[in-house]
Chain A
Amino acid sequence: MIGIAQIINPALLRIILLRVIEVMAAFLVVLFAILVVQKLAIERRERHLKRLRLDYLRRLTPPYSVLPPPHTDIEFEAMGVALADRIRTGTSHERRELQQIVRRFAVDTFYERRARGRSWTRRIGAMEALASFALPESRPFVIARLQREKDQRVLSKAVVALSLVAGALADLELVTDMLLTLGSVSSKFNEFVYTNCIRSLRAADHEGDYVQALKSAKADEGMPWPLKRDMIEAAGKAGLAAARGIIASFYRYSGDALMRVTCLRALGNLEGLGQIMNEALMDDDWRVRAVAVRYGFQGGADAMPLVKRALRDENYYVRLNAGVTMMKFGANGFQALCEEAEGPDPFAREIAYYAMNAVPADA
């Protein structure tokens, strides 16, 4: 007999293997036990939670006085989820009434307790629930958590929570500070947070604070350009018309093509492109021209010759956008496209055909 048994004591090897088999078998039994218990007990709790939530959702209609107060954790949890759902979809009047219920039944206190808990998964869930309630009264608590919380994942939820209840310039500054410390969050996340801030500030009649923050950002050399772009993008998305002036000044002040693209998009959304339309259409960078030409119709009949010229641009995207925009100039645009469709330039001809066939007039 030769093999492993030659170099390891066969008796010892036998004992080791037998022990391993015992441990494996025990582990296997434990696994099956967890599997069955999970199926039978934990899923029953979840079904109960779902039933309760549906029950609360059904009862969360006026008059709210008939609502039974929650007592156990699972009832608080079910009521919290139901309230968050209703607040998200309700009108502003309903939202205020539902927020009062959150306060009346101390659902916010329940989640604030959880948001101070040891498990980060619980804290994250609690912070998300508090964000959903968007209670202005939670603002001091959220700010306190932002200053104490160490976990980045919970912090990002806390930033969202603060953005939904922001009421002053100081909140906006805190949000910006937190976004700078949050590492690799995307531009979309920043934009989302700033859009929330604008809406909250608007609700508190402090819209001007955001314009002020944009002015400070412009003056702040240390602030990263991408974050400034996200602030501007959010202003465009949230329809902050008061920011047109400062955004136009960002456009002129910047040598960065991406910043010009952002400003154009924001001003396009705010219908404030008028003054800079022509220079944008003649920009050296094709990305700027491609965006400018999309909003070309805002420049009125004066901009049409420049848009038409863009049908022959060296860049494919500029030409394509120009074709689509020409259709937005109505009968004159259509007529110009017909001329191009008969013209000598094969690129312009191709785009003109496409725009006339695929794009509805005044799209």
Chain B
Amino acid sequence: MLDAIGIFVVAFQLFIFGYFIILNGTYTIFTFVAMRRIRAHSATASLKSLQDITSGAYHKPVSIIVPAFNEVHTIVASARSLLLLQYPEFEIIIVDDGSTDDTFEELRRAFQLAPLKKPLRTVLTHTPITDLYMSVRHANLFVVRKTNGGKADALNAGIDASHYPLFCCVDADSLLEPDALLRAAKPFVDDREVIASGGLVRVLNGCVVRDGMVEEIRAPKKGIECIQAAEYTRGFLSGRMAWNAFSSLLIISGAFGVFRKDLVLAVGGYYPTVGEDMDLVVRLHRYCCENNLRYKVVFVPEPVCWTQVPSDLRSLLRQRSRWHRGLVDTLWRNRTMFGNPRYGTVGLFGLPYFALVEMLGPAIEFVGYLGFVILFLLNWVDPEFALLFLVVAVLWGIWINVAGVMLDNLVFRRYRDLRDVLKLSLYGSLEFLGYRQLLAAERLISTFQWRSGWGQARRQKIESEVGEKREAET
């Protein structure tokens, strides 16, 4: 009996140890791969090459689609920031998804909207469009009003109302940097195989915003926001850059992504799920592989989209739960791609990684923490080994997060003040002391609730100092 328990305990410890090595080893490899790729990318995406795009015929026009549901606090600032984008030819389509607050009234007041009786060609599935408006002040600003159908539904309506061959989806609570669209759309004119590109999403909390523009970049004030800022930096710069290198990028953030419209129409647009952004990218991979199309889905590190992150634990847990449910849903609906060589590196490498590490990771981690405590209490773990292992785990975790912040600072240098960089590094180091475990537990619970909906979001008003504004519930 004791032998059986012994074998089980050894197997359990080896499994957890192996998982830990694979997880952190992957993150470390990703950091080094990202370092090389970002350096190469920075060399090719120079200021001169952007000037070429703005100066001549060397661009493709873009429709920016902004789905908005009860975004009264953020929508006008967001639209103003979009109007300031440096891009030769673009239109902004705000889709009011049946808001019950004053979102539309705010827009009407701010931009002098006039009704437009343009007949629309409906290709994608969405709830009926009730009205179409055009700004009298800005000829490239349109507002589509429709009955409520969710974010994916609103995006589909926006695509149907758009005119240009590329479209860019932007969250209503996000701000784009003036050259963000130029940088995100550049791969489409450089390389005919690019079908989708995503940019870097950074944390807006703590920054100084004026007239829809981020004027001063500062680290957030609250600890929970700082940890997320470090997490975003690592996730986007190391994670997505490395997936890019392995041609297996499965996520383009819903907050900011550019897509080729013809292909999105071919796959039927967005699917109504909480993870509609990942779902679309996976279906694009699938469609192109099944039709033997040469294609690229790319992550571009410089175009920056600033977004608000939750500043309280409840909203954060809700957001992560939603992300996890989206992930499970997408993986489940595309399960035929798993390990299937027909889908190239995405099928053989990307999806299995996401399933084993991202989807099942919380369960494995949680079992690991719980098992470790039980074994420790039963005196079945050598205390010295346990302590040394814990130190290795914490140091490795800190290294990965600090490397992410360093990577950002080596190439982009957004945070001008050394104190901000050190603050992010410090909070990044604290991620492994409670924060990660809490999120793992929430994600584990979400795994069993993946059919439920979006839930309510909390928004801060985008104004001068976002970090200091009191939260307003929508």
Q: Which residues of A contact B (CB under 8 A)?
A: 1-7, 10, 13-14, 17-18, 20-21, 24-25, 27-28, 31-32, 34-36, 38-40, 43, 46, 84, 88, 120-121, 124-125, 128-129, 131-132, 153, 156, 160, 184-189, 191-192, 195, 237, 316-317, 320, 347, 350-351, 353-354, 357-358
Contact = CB atoms under 8 A, between A and B. Distances in A.
Contacts of A128: 46, 48-49
Tell me what chain B mostly uses at the interface: helix, strand, loop, or mixed.
Answer: helix
Contacts of A21: 388, 391-392, 395
Contacts of B46: 124-125, 128
Contacts of A88: 51, 55
A3 B381 contact: yes
Contact of B388 (A6, A17, A46, A186): A17
Given A39-B421, A124-B43, A14 B385 contact: yes
B406 A31 contact: yes
A3 B388 contact: no
B382 A1 contact: yes
Interface of B: 5-6, 9-10, 13-14, 17, 39-40, 42-44, 46, 48-49, 51-52, 55-60, 116-119, 121, 134, 188-194, 294, 375, 379-382, 384-385, 388-389, 391-392, 395-396, 398-399, 402-403, 405-406, 409-410, 413, 418, 421-422, 425
Given A35-B409, A353-B117, A188 B382 contact: no
A86 to B, nearest CB: 13
A264 B116 CA distance: 30
Contacts of A132: 48
A46 B413 CA distance: 11
Contacts of A353: 117
Contacts of A347: 119
B118 A192 contact: no
A39 B385 contact: no
Given A17-B388, A32-B425, A24 B10 contact: no
Nearest to B46: A128
Given A2-B380, A25-B395, A46-B413, 4 more contacts: A6-B10, A17-B388, A24-B395, A358-B117
Contacts of A120: 43
B119 to A, nearest CB: 4
Contacts of A17: 385, 388-389, 391-392
A20 B398 CA distance: 14
Contact of A35 (B13, B55, B402): B402
A26 B317 CA distance: 35
Contact of B385 (A5, A20, A43): A5
B389 A184 contact: no
B391 to A, nearest CB: 5
A2 B9 contact: yes
B119 A3 contact: no
A32 B382 contact: no
Tell me what chain A mostly uses at the interface: helix, strand, loop, or mixed.
Answer: helix
B379 A316 contact: no
Nearest to A357: B117
A129 B57 CA distance: 21
Given A35-B405, A39-B418, A121-B40, A185 B192 contact: yes
Contacts of A24: 392, 395-396, 399
Contact of B294 (A4, A153, A184): A184
B116 A358 contact: yes
B53 to A, nearest CB: 9
Nearest to A119: B43
Contacts of A317: 121
Contact of A121 (B39, B380, B392, B418): B39
A347 B392 CA distance: 70
Nearest to B6: A2
A30 B191 CA distance: 38
Lowest 10 CB-CB distances: which A-B pairs, in order? Answer: A121-B43, A192-B58, A24-B395, A188-B189, A17-B388, A186-B192, A350-B119, A316-B121, A2-B6, A39-B418
A38 B416 CA distance: 11
Contacts of B384: 14
Contacts of A357: 116-117
Contacts of A351: 119
22 contacts: A1-B382, A3-B382, A13-B385, A14-B384, A17-B389, A21-B388, A24-B395, A31-B402, A31-B403, A35-B402, A35-B421, A38-B406, A84-B48, A88-B55, A132-B48, A156-B190, A160-B52, A186-B189, A192-B58, A192-B189, A237-B57, A317-B121
Given A3-B382, A125-B46, A188 B60 contact: yes
Contact of B190 (A35, A186, A320): A186
A20 B392 contact: yes
B10 A3 contact: yes
A195 to B, nearest CB: 6
Nearest to B60: A188
Nearest to A46: B413
A340 to B, nearest CB: 13
A35 B59 contact: no
Contacts of A6: 6, 10
Given A13-B385, A124-B44, A186-B191, A192 B380 contact: no
A3 B385 contact: yes
Contacts of B117: 353-354, 357-358
A326 B382 CA distance: 86
Contacts of A25: 395
B395 A38 contact: no
Contacts of B188: 186, 188
Contacts of A35: 402, 405-406, 409, 421-422, 425
Contacts of B57: 188, 191-192, 195, 237
A125 B14 CA distance: 50
A187 B191 CA distance: 8
B189 to A, nearest CB: 4
Nearest to B382: A5
Contacts of A131: 48
A145 B121 CA distance: 51
Contacts of B13: 3-4
A38 B192 contact: no
Interface centre among A7, A132, A188, A195, by most chain B C-beta atoms within 10 angstroms, is A188
A192 B9 contact: no
Contacts of A186: 188-192, 194
A106 to B, nearest CB: 21
Contact of B409 (A39, A192, A237, A320): A39
Given A38-B409, A185-B191, A18 B9 contact: no
